[in-house]
Structure 1
Amino acid sequence: MAPRRMETKPVMMCVKTLLMFYSFIFWVTGVVLLSVGLWWKFMLSPYMLLISSAPSNAPYVLAGTGSAIVLFGLFGCFATCRGRPWMLKLYAAALSLIFMTELIAGISGFIFRHEIKETFLSTYSEAVTNYDGRDDRSLAVDGVQRRLHCCGVYNYTSWLSSVYFPTAGIPSSCCVTLSDCKDADLRDASRAVNKVYSQGCYELVTSFIERNMGIIAGVTFGIAFSQLIGMLLACCLSRLIIANAYEMV
């Protein structure tokens, strides 16, 4: 039995090292997801009002998934160091659960991307129509227009049918150069056309989604399928430990 034990131990150490490295990367992934979830919640919450009329659960899902991955990543490192088969099997089961969750989320986002675009169109159009320059949704519209250098839904003419235009004209957040935008210019559509951004915000946002959907889907599925590697390593190490213990009997 001694030669077989000598053959098993190097393989077991190699698998153990790989699993430890994977668990660390897995833990880092959890930290990233948790950070993105918190950033989304505290920094992007106003803009989410333009995508959905109801509060979004997406930041909570990201933060919750990230927290779970952080905990399981630490557990994976502990289980690998301890070398207990039942811990490794539990770790593999957790990885399979996270794999299914990420896979379903990725497929759902890819399939329903057109519905997301349609919801954004209706919600953003409503926000422009009812813009008053003071409420949270109006401030979010201003933020989008300033950061993306866009104006209105399709272009600046979207503002002509808003309740804000008859009294105050086009919002100053549409101005290419704020110092060059006078109140009189913003109240006159023929003069405003040369002062405001020409591209609509809807086109910019949706084109960004279309351009990056493949990258987002690839990263999501790549992270999801990486769980399979961890599952295989955990199961392999568990079997090697059991086999080594059996050989020592």
Structure 2
Amino acid sequence: MRFSRTTLETSLRITCQLLWVVGLVVALGGLYLLLNFSESRPFFSHYYIVLPGVVALSTAALLLVSGVIGCMAATRTSVFLQGVFVYLLVVVMCLESTASALAYYHSDKVDSELSALRDVFYNYSGSSQDPLSRAVDSTQKELQCCGVQDYRDWLNTPWFNRSKGVKFPQSCCNSSFSSCNGNSKAPWELYAQGCRVKLEEAVAFVLSLITWSLLPLVVVEVVGFTTMAQMMMNNQLLLDYTILEKQSSCITTG
């Protein structure tokens, strides 16, 4: 089936815009994973879990470049731009497949990666100068959680003993209670859920986002490949027609 040049150009522009949208989603997933890891680094056993995020950000950057090259190729009859666009799509597909595979692999290891969580909470000092304590407070405030499994985990910590058993960390306070000061006699003012489940859910969500973003990317790339193939075929037919026309003119003149 043959399509007009205008139809192919419009299709390619739409494809490039979709590439940018998919790239934005992939970038947000990778960026969130890296930011979440940087804040919660003491809780994780290895750095490997950030690899999907790094590859996802690289993919997003190439998707942006691919979209720009594709838009340029849509308005210019350039074999070079068309070739670069197709090449970038192949590279993007390889990178996103790698990111999805890594995310899927690590999604089953989130629980084991958080093996250091309990030790970090146990060694909580409450000092703003202590990076481990800052990580605990930041996590409890941001994820609205308290303790590892729940607030009762604090009962067996040196921090709770130093407070003479009357106080939980201020970061455990539920924001719904403005008068909360961490008093152990008012546990209903604390966040009910533990941080382990919250962290697992947050990381698992981002990893699944990176994993499943491969599907829309495949669909968009198939459309891009098909459109570009049609444009290159049309260009070749036009080139053959021009050469034949020149040859016919030479024969007539001769």
TM-score, scaled relative to structure 1: 0.77
- Equivalent position of 2:117 in the other structure: 124
Change (3 A) 1:40 1:124: same
- Equivalent position of 1:222 in the other structure: 216
Change (3 A) 1:227 1:195: same
Residue 137 in structure 1 maps to residue 132 in structure 2: yes
Alignment check: 8 A CA contact 1:150 1:200 kept: yes
Q: How big is the shift at 1:30? A: 3.7
Equivalent positions of 1:10-159 (< 5 A) are 11-30=4-23, 33-34=26-27, 45-52=38-45, 54=47, 56=50, 60-120=54-114, 122-133=115-126, 134=128, 135-159=130-154
Larger Rg, first or second structure (1 or 2): 2
Change (3 A) 1:213 1:195: same
Q: 1:170 aligns with which of 151, 168, 171?
A: 168
Amino acid at match of 2:137: D
Q: How big is the shift at 1:75? A: 1.5
Alignment check: 8 A CA contact 2:32 2:206 kept: no
Q: Which has the larger share of helix?
A: 1
Q: Spell out, residue by residue over 1:203-249, the C-alpha distance to the aligned partner (whole angstroms, 9 max, x if none).
A: 23334566787666433422244222212222221122112211232
Distance of 1:124 and 1:50 partners within structure 2? 5
- Equivalent position of 1:4 in the other structure: none
Percent identity over the alignment is: 22
Q: Spell out, residue by residue over 1:138-157, the C-alpha distance to the aligned partner (whole angstroms, 9 max, x if none).
A: 22322222233221111112
Farther off after superposition, 90-99 or 126-135 = 126-135
- Equivalent position of 1:3 in the other structure: none
- Equivalent position of 2:248 in the other structure: none
Alignment check: 8 A CA contact 1:12 1:241 kept: no
Distance of 2:104 and 2:29 partners within structure 1? 19
Residue 205 in structure 1 maps to residue 182 in structure 2: no
Give the RMSD, CA atoms, in angstroms: 3.2
Unaligned runs of 5+ in 1: 1-6
Change (3 A) 1:59 1:104: closer
Distance of 2:143 and 2:25 partners within structure 1? 25
Residue 239 in structure 1 maps to residue 233 in structure 2: yes
The 3-state SS of whatever aligns with 2:4 is: helix
Distance of 2:44 and 2:217 partners within structure 1? 26
Unaligned runs of 5+ in 2: 244-254
The 3-state SS of whatever aligns with 1:150 is: coil
Q: Spell out, residue by residue over 1:153-211, the C-alpha distance to the aligned partner (whole angstroms, 9 max, x if none).
A: 111122233332221352111123352335xx34xxxx353442222121233345667
Q: How big is the shift at 1:98? A: 0.5
Count of residues paired in the alignment: 235
Residue 179 in structure 1 maps to residue 179 in structure 2: yes
Q: How big is the shift at 1:52? A: 5.0
Alignment check: 8 A CA contact 2:23 2:64 kept: yes
Distance of 1:95 and 1:239 partners within structure 2? 18
Distance of 1:61 and 1:104 partners within structure 2? 7
Distance of 1:118 and 1:234 partners within structure 2? 45
